Amino acid sequence: MEDLVKFVQDEFVTRKDLPEFAAGDTITVYYEIKEGNKTRTQFFRGVVIQRRGSSSSETFTIRKMSGTVGVERIFPVNLPALQKIEVNKRGKVRRARIFYFRELTGKKARIREKRN
């Protein structure tokens, strides 16, 4: 049964060609918001805390600081309103899920940039 569900998801869900990004990277997500009969594009820029799931059910969590308050947002990879993703910085972290990042403030909350 699970194979059938996976087959249907892989066949009929449209795949977006997104750039490669992982935990620790700083990305900007552009997504469409519908208000009444108008649509506008909004962006959310922050550090990727985690990617989870696989294929069509994959999601990623982004965290940014808005003033002194931390804001997290979870985006499904195949969200129809998702327009594009830009990778701003590649971060060097040693884990796939960096939840410890939530408690860090100030200079401790910096992530080293990956060198090419």
We report the CATH number of the domain holding residue 8 as 2.30.30.790
CB 57 within 8 A of CB 75: no
Q: What residues make up the domain containing 66? A: 2-105
**Nearest alpha carbon to residue 51 among 97, 112, 19:** 97
Q: What is the pTM of this model?
A: 0.80
The amino acid sitting at 3 is D
Residue 46 lies in a domain: yes
For 7-30, how does the pLDDT look when each residue is reduced to its tens digit (9 = 90+)?
A: 776 676 666 678 888 999 999 999
Rounded distance, CA 3 to CA 112, Å? 40
Residue 42 lies in a domain: yes
For 50-109, how does the pLDDT look when each residue is reduced to its tens digit (9 = 90+)?
A: 999 877 788 999 999 888 898 999 999 888 888 999 999 999 989 999 999 888 888 888
Would you say residue 4 has pLDDT above 90?
no
Residue 90 lies in a domain: yes
Check residue 57 and give left, alpha or beta (phi > 0: left; psi -120 to 50: alpha). alpha
Residue 58 lies in a domain: yes
Residue 110 lies in a domain: no
How many structural domains does the chain have?
Answer: 1
Strand order in the sheet with 38-52: 69-76, 59-66, 38-52, 26-35, 82-89
